[in-house]
Amino acid sequence: MTIVKDTIKSQINQVLKKKYRFGSDLQFQIEYPPAPNLGDYSSNLAMVLAKKLKKSPMEIGKEVASELISEPVNQKMFTKIEVVKPGFVNFYLSENLLKQQVKNILKNKGKYGQLKPKKKLKIQIEFISANPTGPLTLANGRGGFSGDVLANVLELAGHKVEREYYVNDYGEQIKKLGHSILKDKLAVYSGAYIDELYERLKQEKGVNKNDANEVGIWGAGIILEEMIKPTVQKAQIKFDHWFSEREMHQKGEVDKMLSYLKKHNLAYEKDGAWWLKTTNQGDQDDKDRVLVKSNGDKTYFLADIAYHWNKFYKRKFDKVINLWGADHHGYVPRMKSAMAMLGYPGQPEVLLMQLVRLVQDGKEARMSKRHGIYVLLDELIDEVGLDVARFFFLMHANNKAMDFDLNLARERSQKNPVYYVQYAHARICSILKKTRNLPLIKIKAYELCQSERELIKELIKWPELVQEVVQSYEVHKIPFYVISLADKFHDLYEKRRIIEEGKVIEFRLNLIQAAKQVLQNAFKVLGISAPEKM
């Protein structure tokens, strides 16, 4: 499968090697120009080379453009290669190449957008991982859908990806859950689900009602199996593994981790507690961190080190990506410091999910009648539908706070971006249905109109976007891509007819089939449906 960006970069590298003796390690960009009159792709390589060659960017750009356009293969790819101030090299794609890309899409079908990595990696994505002390809320949806889609993208790029939910079913929060279910003076959690667990506990045999920890373990098991997992299933989020913190403690892995740190002089004792030497790792962390408290209790940090050791040392992941809540901001440096001490610098990679507000009529909304203080993810999906919930969360960059607009989410019109992009797919399906059994008009020297050019240019960005998201993890770019793709299709629909006088123009038919295919491929990654009727 031809990726146009890669092809342009390869052609430039050949010129740089031949004319200037530079290797392929020279860092320059291939971007999309801000306006159609500036070409279809643009490169800043002349500005990058200016200091190295001690020439003006315009002079270098003209030299490179001249070399490129002299090659027969590039004469077929581009109508022209132009240099504009202050030295951008702009590429104008030929009609031949654009038409060939439509054939390429139809040939590859569902595989269009799949990549072949230089090295296939074993990657783990850990996401949601909410404590089993209550049902999943609105906030959990953000990391849930983002992690799910990021996993889809990395799989599309040819990597082996495992999705994991870390179940924090051990420690203080479990005791607090137990006290809450017992409704004693140490209770922390409240809500209808706590009341229900209290009633069940009164009828349950085999649970010591005087042992808050035992009650907490019992309650956490119910919450996980009867609340969290069903919501994950409703959200159509896939997990390959549910990893229990309690089981890790029971197997002695946390104790073994502590022994390892002591043995390798990475931990020390002070004031009756054990500390990790995290400040030895440069500026990763600002102070040493407690592993075991003076009362003998093991910290969550120690368990987390053991958990990540399990990921890298035992399960041999090449890369670990954790999606955590924004409140973990201060926790990231110490985790990276610990992993660097164990021989895994730069790991894990952490994406922080910023806060979410549910907004209605410009004000923060409360949907839950039973729970009051928070919005359950279940309730949101029931209210607006799964496609809308997924798309709305995914439209926002994870590193920025977001408002979930309930008014817009409830819209059943093209004002709602989900319906807008799905309507493009449904409209294509309707056209294709009308074209069945109609005669084809084959135009040998078919000339593309501007709307057709723009649609094809958008279609060929799909594998390029997959490639980009693999590097940046910015899954929010995918919803905006499908919105732009729908824009281009709707524009073509308004300006050109597929069916004329009872006959079908073959190229336009192929073009909208290609658009339908790319929409389906993108929808599959996003986890939303591709309706044929609306």
Q: Which CATH architecture has domain 417-526?
A: Orthogonal Bundle (1.10)
Continuous segment of H or E residues that includes residue 99: helix 95-108
Distance of alpha carbon 85 from the chain centroid? 36
Q: What are the φ/ψ torsions at residue 201 (nearest 5 degrees)?
A: -65, -40
Place of tokens 């420690």: 171
pLDDT tens for the chain, 534 residues: list them. 679 999 999 999 999 998 888 877 889 999 999 988 899 999 999 999 998 899 999 999 999 999 999 999 889 999 999 999 999 999 999 999 999 999 999 999 999 999 999 999 999 999 999 999 999 999 999 999 999 999 999 999 999 999 999 999 999 999 999 999 999 999 999 888 999 999 999 988 778 888 999 999 999 999 999 999 999 999 999 999 999 999 999 999 999 999 999 999 999 999 999 999 887 666 566 788 999 999 999 999 999 999 999 999 999 999 999 999 999 999 999 999 999 999 999 999 999 999 999 999 988 886 554 444 678 999 999 999 999 999 999 999 999 999 999 999 999 999 999 999 999 999 999 999 999 989 998 888 899 999 999 999 999 999 999 999 999 999 999 999 999 999 999 999 999 888 888 899 999 999 999 999 999 999 999 999 999 998
Distance CA 232, CA 323 (A): 16
Half-sphere exposure of 425 (CA within 13 A, CB side): 23
Judge whether 438 and 89 are in contact, CB under 8 Å.
Answer: no
Residue 165, helix vs strand vs coil = strand
Which sequence spans correspond to the domains of the chain? 4-93, 417-526
Peptide bond into 348 cis (omega under 30): yes
In angstroms, the CA 407 to CA 410 distance is: 5
Of the candidates 201, 206, 141, 144, the one whose C-alpha atom is nearest the C-alpha of residue 177 is 201
Rounded to whole angstroms, how far apart are CA atoms 467 and 262?
Answer: 43
For residue 357, give the nearest of 190, 146, 141 by alpha carbon: 141
CATH homologous superfamily for the domain 4-93: Arginyl tRNA synthetase N-terminal domain (3.30.1360.70)
User: Identity (one letter) of the amino acid at 342?
Assistant: L
* Cis amide prior to 86 (ω within 30 degrees): yes
Phi, psi of 110 (to 5 degrees): -65, -15
Q: How many residues appear in the chain?
A: 534
Q: Which long-range contacts does 108-111 make (Cβ < 8 Å, 24+ apart)?
A: 108/1, 109/517, 110/517, 110/520, 110/521, 110/524, 111/1
- Between β-strands 363-364 and 402-405, what pairing exists: parallel, antiparallel or unpaired? unpaired
Written as six digits, the tokens of 166 are: 């870390």
Query: Residue 151: helix, strand or coil by DSSP?
Result: helix
What is the model's pTM?
Answer: 0.94
Sheet containing 356-360: which strands, arranged edge to edge?
363-364, 356-360, 402-405
Beta-strand (E) ranges in 168-288?
241-244, 267-270, 273-276
